[in-house]
Structure 1
């Protein structure tokens, strides 16, 4: 067992000079012990996860005789990678001879929240597959670890395609809006609220706490350090009223954007559906069209909306309420994006999201200039002030 001074020395790269009192030595030694314990715990968990992956793949091989030959399981590669805003862990499992295998998804620690998300992932994923929606097949699960194995759909997202060549990405956007319409209609039938890990439906609570409230707390208060403008809360209530006025119950993905649409063999597939619930269809459409990752031109947004409405019409859905609700749901989504990106870049230190905050603010200001928002003067002013104040933050 290392002494307190030796453990402090290890923490500080072997330096022999310690400008600390004896109490400081013991505090730093305790910190060293916590770091080592955490690393050992995570290492043990990864080893346990890898053993579970092997077991599930062997089980699938025996049951299906279709996953892979036994020889391909002899030299697996485990390649960790990170999700965007997720706190879950991801491992890409590659078979021998570099043949694509599966994606393992699991939490660092299986708390009640993570357990609920695990059940939602499995339940909604199976429900969508049964409804013939293009989502990855679940290859196996381990409830004890909160582990899910998905088929590997590759590494190309709609976002990646758009970054390389927007013109080449457009046909896949068209496929994506048709897949969205199909998912919203088909997955509504037989959807059990017990599947959900958050709320069973997109409701006032989601809008006020998870979207407008998210904007207010994470962006306005914590990023800009501002007090809420008088009257803003009332306008957020009014915005929720408008959404509820045009509410229609369909399946809602709630994060249907370009980084959650995979492209594989000229097909689109949908991932990251664990927050699914019942809700208004225009929300998912807005999530894709106003996605700040790609910044689609207005002309492209208009074309995709038309194609989406055509797809809904083919499925027997009247698009009138979708059209009427869209501006309000686009604002709700815009507020959620700003709140989420502020939280992720600020509290979680994920700098990837920060460059997208300003474009999202500009998008919000421009949308609120439309005539249907004449009754939202405080929100309009707040959006305009947000741009000026956030630019000051960026330059400061």
Structure 2
């Protein structure tokens, strides 16, 4: 057997199986929970008429019934398996994903979804990605991180080539990718993928407990993530509201003080029992202080006009960032090396000239700063126009 033939056999879909589905449907019409019996009657009618699209729609409605839990795997084995090749592939994978939760354990679910995914690669790339990513979630469950990363990399390439995808596929990809990076303690990558996951789902789809868990993990990853110096996108997301009134509301307040560069608030929160209990934060306190100093420097630059940020003295930076005068140069050099700002340092006159600051997602107070600066600029333009319209003003300006 050639290598080519082996590959073709692996990628080929399963052979269609023909068996009598009617005894199963008849039995479920009398023995299933009352709320589900009508569906089995409907399944039989549509199957008999070979109305595959309508049958898929009815199956989707069946999935939405809370009572359907526990009935999906038998339904697949005794009914859907007979006509699944007539079914919309994405709808099939959505059903298989739900059915996999009824397997005996994660290893069995992994084997089940892995077998189903193989036949989809050539015929339906988007359905293949969904099936593969759901399979990868079980690889995480059995601690096979290598296989999970391989699936993530493969699916990322496929998604890059697809012109458009359904939100459920993006949500599955980013959820599993975030969980993988969480297992690897890769905070920046987790932060990035977790935010993209939230952009692909509605918060109503997540339980309150899951919202709180994700808000907590996002807050920790934002604080500890190297290279994450702007929390604006997270602070604007309503998922943080899930922490209000909980024992972790202080985390939301901590994010706010970092975003605004409030060193005093950080020192106050870092002495609370809640902060002390967070071992990862306690161990990284020096890193957090340096990160806050850098974010305070960014905020100090941002709120200044173009003219004033071109001549920031070491003393001004020291006062705003709460670092000693002899540490200012090192702090600015760190910000320059990280690409947070661009500019020059005048060591002799102890002046920093900033020409660019990293773009950021703004909160309401920062938008207010821009509004004030635009108002100031508008006033200056108006006064110049008035001066030009005046003969005395025009003569004075040309004389200068």
User: Which TM-score applies when normalising by structure 1?
Assistant: 0.30
Q: Which has the bigger relative contact order, CA under 8 A and spacing at least 6?
A: 1
Higher share in strand? 1
User: Which TM-score applies when normalising by structure 2?
Assistant: 0.30
